[in-house]
Amino acid sequence: MRLLPRQALEAWNTFGVPSRADWLCRATTVLEAREAVAFAADRGLPVTVLGGGSNVVLLSRVPGVVIRMEITGFEVRARQGERAMVQVGAGEDWPRLVDRCLEGGLHGLENLTDIPGTAGAAPVQNIGAYGVEVADVLEEVRCLEVPSGREVLLDRRACCLGYRDSLFKSRAPGRYLVVGVTLGLSTRPEVRVEYEGLAREIARQGLSAPSPRDVARLVRQVRRDRLPNPARLGNAGSFFVNPVVEDGVAAALLERYPDLPTFPAGPGRRKLAAGWLIERCGFKGRALGRVGVHRDHALVLVNLGGATGREVIDAAQVIRRAVRETFGVDLEMEPRVLGTDDPEDRRES
Ligand code: EPU
């Protein structure tokens, strides 16, 4: 295992903000990850895991040991009737994994095409798009339990997956390091096309029986039309989760704002479109210093060039305040904020 001191993390986060790790370990095996955890435990240092860095806001310094999860591996473990179990390493690139499954006739991930990040991060946020969440296909998650250093296998139920939520994110943050995931996919080409934006595109293109390949192609197209490519414009996808409120709150808002998009979110609750709330507050396409609100999608904050993590968070606070004052709704950030602002770095900037 190689641990490197004082490593820049700018290239390892899709916002492209400057930051550095006290120690960085690029773990390509479970053993390397375990050794990095032990190194940190021996010195009383915190451990932070980075996957693709596509759902984080980094402050200027991430103290302790940062483990960049680079464990690869792709294996179709078992086929039973129309089901196939696909076991993948946590460091596998998610978009490549989706393409590979599609090419191999393994279905269920098409709607999740092109989501930046790694396979290991997928259950942490319970990534989702166009009507499908990773919860729909996840079978098991292999983890390192940080306190004990043991490898444990958690089934889907144990992962407590909810809308952009999981055991790893909110119930036991920091306890488990995801080292691999097992997905249950279908060898039968079935598609999920109920999501409004996707259904609209399918109708527009006159596809009466879209194939999984059609769905993947359309999802890619819809994403490219609306979401900025992090390789060109730093961002972390949706910056806020869509707020879920009681039916009564949604009804009161709809009385005042009849065109507010809302969606069912379990018994007695509705999800509100955060992008709409932000757009209605006048932020779409606006710059808040070096941080912008994307011109095609108000839910996406972008690094206009040279922004720091602190500036991203400050811009987010301005937006949150405006949405709270206008609609009485609290927005919760989707990306994880990692690290601290080092006084030393503040003097330098
Ligand atoms: N909307 C606006 N203005 C905007 C943006 C959106 O009015 O600037 C409205 C749309 O017109 C639509 C509604 O908001 O009626 C929902 O918009 P969209 O379909 O784009 O989806 P979203 O709720 O904004 C979520 C996920 C995305 C995912 C899409 C598609 C969250 C936090 N985000 O966005 O996930 O790609 O649905 O399924 O749930 C991500 O998590 O990083 C992400 C990109």
151 by Cβ neighbours in 10 Å (0-12 / 13-18 / 19+) ranks as middle
Pick the residue whose CA is nearest to atom 4 on ligand 1: 275
Q: Is the CB of 129 under 6 A from ligand 1?
A: yes
Residue 13 above 80 pLDDT?
A: yes
Residue with tokens 């190194």: 39
Pick the residue whose CA is nearest to atom 23 on ligand 1: 273
Average pLDDT over residues 46-66: 97
Query: According to CATH, what is the number of the domain 235-329?
Result: 3.90.78.10
pLDDT in tens, 165-190: 999 999 999 999 999 999 999 999 98
Check if 164 is active-site.
yes
Average pLDDT over residues 38-52: 96
pLDDT band at 231 (very low <50, low <70, confident <90, very high): very high
Best probe residue, ligand 1, of 164, 299, 300, 334 (max atoms within 8 Å of C-beta)? 299
Class of domain 74-186: alpha beta
Q: What average pLDDT does the structure give for the chain?
A: 96
Q: What is the pLDDT of residue 47?
A: 95
Residue 328 above 90 pLDDT?
A: yes
Residue 341 above 90 pLDDT?
A: yes
Q: What is the pLDDT of residue 307?
A: 98
Q: What is the pLDDT of residue 147?
A: 85
Tokens matching residue 101: 């499954």
| Residue ranges covered by each domain of the chain | 3-69, 74-186, 235-329
Q: Is the CB of 334 under 6 A from ligand 1?
A: yes
Pick the residue whose CA is nearest to atom 14 on ligand 1: 273
**pTM for the full predicted model:** 0.96
pLDDT band at 342 (very low <50, low <70, confident <90, very high): confident
Q: Is the CB of 298 under 6 A from ligand 1?
A: yes
Check if 238 is active-site.
yes
Pick the residue whose CA is nearest to atom 43 on ligand 1: 238
Q: Is the CB of 111 under 6 A from ligand 1?
A: no
pLDDT band at 12 (very low <50, low <70, confident <90, very high): very high
Whole-angstrom Cα distance, residue 64 to residue 187?
Answer: 44
The answer for residues whose C-beta is within 8 angstroms of residue 33's C-beta and 6 or more apart is 25, 27, 67, 69, 71, 144, 177, 179
Q: Is the CB of 134 under 6 A from ligand 1?
A: no
Q: Is the CB of 242 under 6 A from ligand 1?
A: yes
344 by Cβ neighbours in 10 Å (0-12 / 13-18 / 19+) ranks as exposed
pLDDT in tens, 60-69: 999 999 999 9
Give the distance (Å) from ligand 1 centre to CA of residue 275: 6
Of the listed 54, 60, 166, 238, which one is catalytic?
Answer: 238
Residue 347 above 80 pLDDT?
A: no
Q: Structurally, what CATH architecture does the domain formed by 3-69 represent?
A: 2-Layer Sandwich (3.30)
Contact indicator for 54, 237 with CB cutoff of 8 Å: yes
pLDDT band at 349 (very low <50, low <70, confident <90, very high): very low
- The single-letter DSSP state of residue 126 is T
Check if 211 is active-site.
no
- Calculate what percentage of the chain has a pLDDT beyond 70: 98
Closest ligand 1 atom, residue 261 Cα: 15
Q: Is the CB of 297 under 6 A from ligand 1?
A: yes
Q: Is the CB of 279 under 6 A from ligand 1?
A: yes
Pick the residue whose CA is nearest to atom 26 on ligand 1: 129
Q: What is the pLDDT of residue 78?
A: 85
Give the distance (Å) from ligand 1 centre to CA of residue 190: 24
Count the alpha carbons within 13 Å of 155 in the hemisphere toward its beta carbon. 1
pLDDT band at 343 (very low <50, low <70, confident <90, very high): confident
Of the listed 20, 34, 61, 164, which one is catalytic?
Answer: 164
- Calculate what percentage of the chain has a pLDDT beyond 90: 95
Closest ligand 1 atom, residue 241 Cα: 32
